[in-house]
């Protein structure tokens, strides 16, 4: 059994869906299905029970799932130890957003357990740079939010969060249970500085050109609401000052938390980081 095939199998076993696993692995579904069928032929037994809704593990598949994860974990540890012997003992992680996210806390704890000898350097990024300095070599991997220009990057989706509009608590719209983007068409919105990734800017403007104050950080966004009545978007579930309110938007695409790194980067520390993040953000 090749490690690559076992990684394919583990992805399907964790997602319980070939389509989602293919997306996670950045490949199309047919070659993934062929690889799993070949693995079943090598094992001599079915590993999944397939249905239109997805898949479930067979008893044989459950045994292989446990063994495959242990084997892949060991392979990652071997790669990390070799990298450490070669002097690669540090990675720099860029973070955009809420550093108190429970997923990030679980990731930090799990990574420390897996790689106690690796030093993690953290770089907080401002809102105009959704890749947190990845393109300019300031970080090795980033925890951020999509969408943005993904050219020459590899992106792993970790979680999707519904989005709401941030308003002053005394705004009449703040009393609503939900809103639509069209109801905010006459309002001023946050803007990012000139030169910001247009895909990123368009998402946080609800897909339309807007006017409003230029901001660079989350706190600047909140102050713009407090002082000027500006509106903007934010993922739901974050604590806000009592003077602010967030109302869910019914027609806004969710905000995706993602791990992103440079395409072609084979650093095993980064690969291990992304795999641990995938599990940490799923809970």
For the chain, the first-to-last Cα distance in angstroms comes to 29
88-159+255-283 and 163-253 share one CATH topology? yes
Q: Is pLDDT above 80 for 98?
A: no
pLDDT digits (tens, 9 = 90+) for 171-217: 999 999 999 999 999 999 989 988 899 999 999 999 988 999 999 88
Q: What is the pLDDT of residue 141?
A: 96
Pairing of strands 255-262, 119-124: unpaired
Extents of the domains making up the chain: 3-86, 88-159+255-283, 163-253
CATH of domain 88-159+255-283: 3.40.190.10
CATH of domain 163-253: 3.40.190.10
**Lowest-confidence segment of 58-72, 80-94, 145-159, 220-234 by average pLDDT:** 80-94
Q: Which residues contact 16 (CB under 8 A, 6 or more apart)?
A: 54, 55, 56, 57
Cis peptide before 147 (omega within 30 of 0): yes
Would you say the pTM of this structure is higher than 0.85?
no
3-86 to CATH, choices 3.40.50.2300, 3.40.50.460, 1.10.10.10, 3.30.365.10: 1.10.10.10
Distance CA 59, CA 223 (A): 56
Residue 142 bridge partners (DSSP): 94, 260
Q: Is pLDDT above 80 for 73?
A: no
Q: What is the pLDDT of residue 15?
A: 84
Among 235, 231, 239, smallest CA distance to 258 is for: 235
């Amino acid at each position: 059994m090749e490690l690559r095939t076992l990684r394919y199998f583990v992805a399907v076993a964790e997602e319980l869906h070939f389509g989602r696993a293919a997306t996670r692995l950045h490949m199309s579904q047919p070659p993934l299905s062929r690889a799993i069928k070949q693995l079943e032929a090598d094992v001599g037994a079915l590993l999944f029970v397939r249905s239109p809704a997805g898949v479930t593990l067979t008893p044989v598949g459950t045994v292989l799932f446990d063994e495959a994860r242990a084997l892949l974990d060991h392979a990652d540890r071997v790669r990390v130890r070799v990298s450490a012997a070669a002097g690669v003992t540090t990675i720099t992680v860029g973070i955009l957003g809420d550093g108190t996210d429970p997923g990030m806390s679980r990731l930090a704890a799990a990574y420390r357990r897996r790689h106690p000898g690796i030093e993690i350097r953290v770089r907080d990024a401002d809102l105009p740079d959704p890749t947190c300095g990845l393109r300019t070599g300031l970080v090795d991997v980033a925890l951020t939010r999509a969408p943005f220009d993904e050219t020459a990057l590899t992106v792993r989706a970790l979680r999707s969060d519904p989005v709401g509009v941030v308003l002053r608590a005394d705004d009449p719209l703040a009393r609503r249970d939900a809103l639509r983007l069209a109801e905010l068409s006459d309002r001023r919105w946050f803007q990012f500085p000139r030169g910001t990734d247009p895909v990123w800017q368009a998402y946080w403007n609800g897909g339309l050109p807007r006017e409003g104050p230029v901001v660079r950080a989350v706190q600047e966004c909140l102050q713009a609401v407090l002082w000027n009545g500006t509106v903007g978007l934010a993922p739901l579930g974050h604590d806000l000052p009592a003077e602010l309110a967030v109302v869910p938007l019914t027609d806004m695409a969710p905000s995706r938390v993602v791990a992103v790194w440079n395409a072609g980067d084979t650093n095993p520390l980064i690969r291990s980081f992304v795999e641990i993040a995938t599990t940490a953000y799923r809970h």
